[in-house]
Structure 1
Amino acid sequence: MFKGGTLNKLQDTGSLAVVEAIDKLEMLYDAALAALRDAISAFIRDGSLPNAAERSKGLFSYPQLSVRWDGKFSDHHRTRAYGRFSRAGQYSTTITRPALFREYLTEQMTLLESEYGAVFEVTPSQQEMPYPFVIDGSDLILDRSMTAGLAQHFPTTDLAKIGDGITDGIETIALGTASLGSAVSDLPLSHFDALRTDFSLARLKHYTGTPAEDIQPYILFTNYSRYVDEFVRWAGEQILDPNSPYKALSCAGGSYITAENADPEKTLSDLAWKKHQMPAYHLIAKNGQGITLVNIGVGPSNAKTICDHLAVLRPHVWLMIGHCGGLRESQSIGDYVLAHAYLRDDHVLDAVLPPDIPIPSIAEIQRALYDATKAVSGMPGVEVKQRLRTGTVVTSDDRNWELRFSASSLRFSLSRAVAVDMESATIAAQGYRFRVPYGTLLCVSDKPLHGEIKLPGQANHFYEGAISEHLQIGIRAIDLLRAEGDQLHSRKLRTFNEPPFR
């Protein structure tokens, strides 16, 4: 069990340097995690209950990071979208898995220290770790008869305390971050606290079939599994290339491919990914700046779900590179659509982001997708416009929208829509909500308004010619965006009272 003397030592307060603060976050987190697992093990073994007095001192608590700024010193970059205080005061958040987020924390804290003279403090928080989040990865074995007792005597998930109030601008205080024994609450330091982050980390493994540690910061979404086949083949080539920046491919279902065991065809024949709703594949870079491809399937519900959970990892960008129906007579199958606006008929986010709120396009993303299309297709600027159409994309929650087209034709026409799908606007809206730069480049797979519908034979012929080029455009766009660095994150996504952390 976690000894009281050690707990008191870890609770020592005072100003810390960035590295010291992160080290202490890891120490407190590891100690609380071990204490909770040990207590669960004792309960399973002989019914021993955790010590209430020790729990009140933070025995099972997430660590809390507090940052103070007195408002006197400021030398920040006004053009940067993050790493900025909106006013003087104390900002706090609870932290989970600090080792996983160490690079991110170091970047954010260093900016606040160097440009504002911020002061850091690390203490146990009032948020306890729910026991379901710590069982995975341990050697604890539970059965149904134990869960009721665990829920009665150990901290468990309280959904009333898990949400997106801060990132949606609803909550203006950092919930659960008052120091132990104090009722004072602080301003939010980050968009997601420890409870919300752990909730999503657990869901990510369930949905994607891969550990959160392998997810890369540059994300491609697709709505067709054939893109996965092409991505795995290309990734295998990259891993075998000694001059490539990539070192491994983590696959849904548990496969982990390196240069020593690279066999893309075997990976493609492995059906373990079928157990997962949205299988993911992570091309891991040596510097951690690799590419993740997620097959989100069809529909706005999946699109919302995966973005809800990926957002806690603070990715640099996510792009949709799926298929769509072309709505204009001048389009041909195989043409591209670069979305610059969205008609949000998906409805899954209406309660948190009303459909009359505009979702702006992001200039850096638009330029990267356009330039990547020119480079990969080999067409100069004038010719590329013959295949690349910029315009409004309709995202519908009804796969059979064609059956009620007479009711929606005027709406499509008023919006000047050029394409329709079931995911893109949802992904863009989620990027807007979570401050993750977003973009959409779709490929026309059918023209339902002009008699060119998707049939099995036609689909196979189309897929063979279009998928490789489309995927390579997405990858080239990521290469261009990676070179943007800090400038990729846009100020236009900031709210009035934005938390300092990206």
Structure 2
Amino acid sequence: MSPIEEQIAKETLERYSGSDAKEFQSNLILTNFPRYVQYFAESRNVPIKEGSVFKVAHCKEEDVSILDFKIGSPAAALTVDTCSFLSFKSAIFLGMCGGLRRRYQIGDYLVPVASIRAEGTSDYYFPIEVPALANFLMQKAVTDVLEEEKTPYHIGITYTTNMRFWEFNVPFAERLKATRAQGIEMECATLFTGSYKRKFTLGALLLISDLPLEKAKTKKDAAMVFDKFTKDHVEKGIKILKVSRKMQEKKIKGAYHRNVDSPSSEED
């Protein structure tokens, strides 16, 4: 990675986030939702900054930043590509997904171990035969936190698509069922392949926001999910980052050791 590439990446992040690169803390929450940034900022009494695309907030006391990159795989790729030039020690994606099992309930957590690359964007990182896997250390931190708090959760794979309004598309739904994926969303495959390519320590904790094979999500349903689950999801994300840092300090394998002055890194 050349110095000019690093410069442009940082300038792009600053332009899109409205925040100086030096303001970002060592641990990062990625999300799709401005409500999550709003909760984080209000609960930590820190300001929100917004650029042409992203909305961010930084908490020095907890050494955590949060970034809302909106929706979809191209935005996810842009986020990983630019953030990988900063010296983040760990990152967690707090997203939502549609649950694809009848026993799932809205508000359950899904811990994705891998994602089906059906979104297209990940093809720019690796050939299609390369799997999209979440970072093991981060997912271990996720399950450790959930088990410590005695929070029920599901483990599985997600189907990452670039088509949002698919609920009434019968051929698509049949193809989705054939994959036996546990959830459907629009970012994880891109985030996982991009972070693997860029050596960026990233995991994910997904909230099941709807059961799309049974019923399409309405405006009222979406509002209920945000009102009821935002606080718990964000607080779990912050705790996961803290646990992952302790795991890295103990030299548990799985994290990339990033040089502050360079995006090059090594993995345990």
- Shared fold, TM over 0.5: yes
Aligned equivalent of 2:48, options 251, 255, 262: 251
Q: Which residue of 2 aligns with 1:281?
A: 57
What number of residue pairs does the alignment pair up? 260
Identity among equivalent positions (%) equals: 23
1: CA distance between counterparts of 2:68 and 2:264?
Answer: 32
State the TM-score, normalized to the length of structure 1: 0.49
1:360 aligns with 2:123: no
Question: Do the aligned partners of 1:346 and 1:395 also contact (CA within 8 Å) in 2?
Answer: yes
1: CA distance between counterparts of 2:91 and 2:196?
Answer: 11
Aligned equivalent of 2:221, options 425, 439, 458: 458
Q: Which residue of 1 aligns with 2:14?
A: 205
Shift in CA distance, 225/283, structure 1 to aligned 2, threshold 3 Å: same
Q: Which residue of 2 aligns with 1:404?
A: 169
Shift in CA distance, 367/403, structure 1 to aligned 2, threshold 3 Å: same
Alignment map for 1:13-412 (pairs within 5 Å): 192-236=1-45, 249=46, 251-252=48-49, 273=50, 275-285=51-61, 290-375=63-148, 378-379=149-150, 384=151, 387-407=152-172, 409-410=174-175, 412=176
Q: Which residue of 1 aligns with 2:260?
A: none
2: CA distance between counterparts of 1:306 and 1:197?
Answer: 14
State the TM-score, normalized to the length of structure 2: 0.89
Q: Deviations over 1:31-66 (max 9, x none)?
A: xxxxxxxxxxxxxxxxxxxxxxxxxxxxxxxxxxxx
User: Structure 2, unaligned stretches of length 5 or more?
Assistant: 258-262
1: CA distance between counterparts of 2:167 and 2:223?
Answer: 22
Q: What's the CA shift for 1:447?
A: 0.9
Q: What's the CA shift for 1:250?
A: 5.5
Question: Do the aligned partners of 1:250 and 1:284 also contact (CA within 8 Å) in 2?
Answer: no
Question: Do the aligned partners of 2:27 and 2:241 also contact (CA within 8 Å) in 1?
Answer: yes
**Bigger CA radius of gyration:** 1
Q: Which residue of 2 aligns with 1:157?
A: none
Moved over 6 A (4+): none
Shift in CA distance, 337/501, structure 1 to aligned 2, threshold 3 Å: closer
Q: Which has the higher strand share?
A: 2
Shift in CA distance, 500/348, structure 1 to aligned 2, threshold 3 Å: closer
SS at the partner of 1:298?
A: coil
Q: What's the CA shift for 1:307?
A: 0.9
RMSD: 2.3
Q: What's the CA shift for 1:425?
A: 1.7
2: CA distance between counterparts of 1:408 and 1:353?
Answer: 26
2: CA distance between counterparts of 1:250 and 1:225?
Answer: 13
User: Structure 1, unaligned stretches of length 5 or more?
Assistant: 1-191, 237-248, 253-272, 494-498
Shift in CA distance, 276/500, structure 1 to aligned 2, threshold 3 Å: closer
Letter in 1 for 2:81: D
Letter in 2 for 1:203: T
2: CA distance between counterparts of 1:423 and 1:391?
Answer: 15
Q: What's the CA shift for 1:501?
A: 4.4
2: CA distance between counterparts of 1:393 and 1:234?
Answer: 31
1: CA distance between counterparts of 2:83 and 2:195?
Answer: 10
Alignment map for 1:392-471 (pairs within 5 Å): 392-407=157-172, 409-410=174-175, 412-451=176-215, 453-471=216-234
SS at the partner of 1:349?
A: helix
Q: Deviations over 1:195-232 (max 9, x none)?
A: 11001111011111100001122111111111112111
Question: Do the aligned partners of 1:208 and 1:280 also contact (CA within 8 Å) in 2?
Answer: yes
Q: Which residue of 2 aligns with 1:82?
A: none
Structure with more contact order per residue of length (Cα contacts < 8 Å, sep ≥ 6): 2
SS at the partner of 1:321?
A: strand
Shift in CA distance, 458/479, structure 1 to aligned 2, threshold 3 Å: same
2: CA distance between counterparts of 1:204 and 1:474?
Answer: 22
Letter in 1 for 2:79: I
Q: Deviations over 1:425-459 (max 9, x none)?
A: 211111111111221111111111012x3222232
Question: Do the aligned partners of 1:372 and 1:474 also contact (CA within 8 Å) in 2?
Answer: no
2: CA distance between counterparts of 1:423 and 1:316?
Answer: 21
